[in-house]
Amino acid sequence: MGTTLNVVIIALLVATALLAVFSKDLLAAVIVFSVYSLLMALMWQRLQAPDLALTEAAVGAGITTVLFVITIFKTHRREER
């Protein structure tokens, strides 16, 4: 059970990381990246590092996402070719 969940989380981590890198829509990339952070927080908790999980959830999924969204809002949403 535990191993299966770990494998699922890691597979989702890799998938979200690749999506965040290759997405042409930057807003979508940022949202996917915040999902990546939440999954990472879950993984830290499973590795028994609750301090890191708290930091990852607050900074990675919360503050970084908002700062990125503000930046996209003030520049361009689509990646230029």
> Which residues would be at the binding site for another protein (CB under 8 A)?
50-51, 53-55, 58-59, 62-63, 66-67, 70-71, 73
Which lies closer to another protein via its Cβ, residue 11 or residue 67?
67
Q: At closest approach, how far in Å is the CB of 77 from another protein?
A: 14
Which lies closer to another protein via its Cβ, residue 8 or residue 54?
54
- What residues contact residue 9 under an 8 Å CB cut-off, 6+ apart? 39, 42, 43, 46
Q: At closest approach, how far in Å is the CB of 2 from another protein?
A: 17
Which lies closer to another protein via its Cβ, residue 15 or residue 17?
17
- What residues contact residue 56 under an 8 Å CB cut-off, 6+ apart? 37, 40, 41, 44
Q: At closest approach, how far in Å is the CB of 70 from another protein?
A: 5
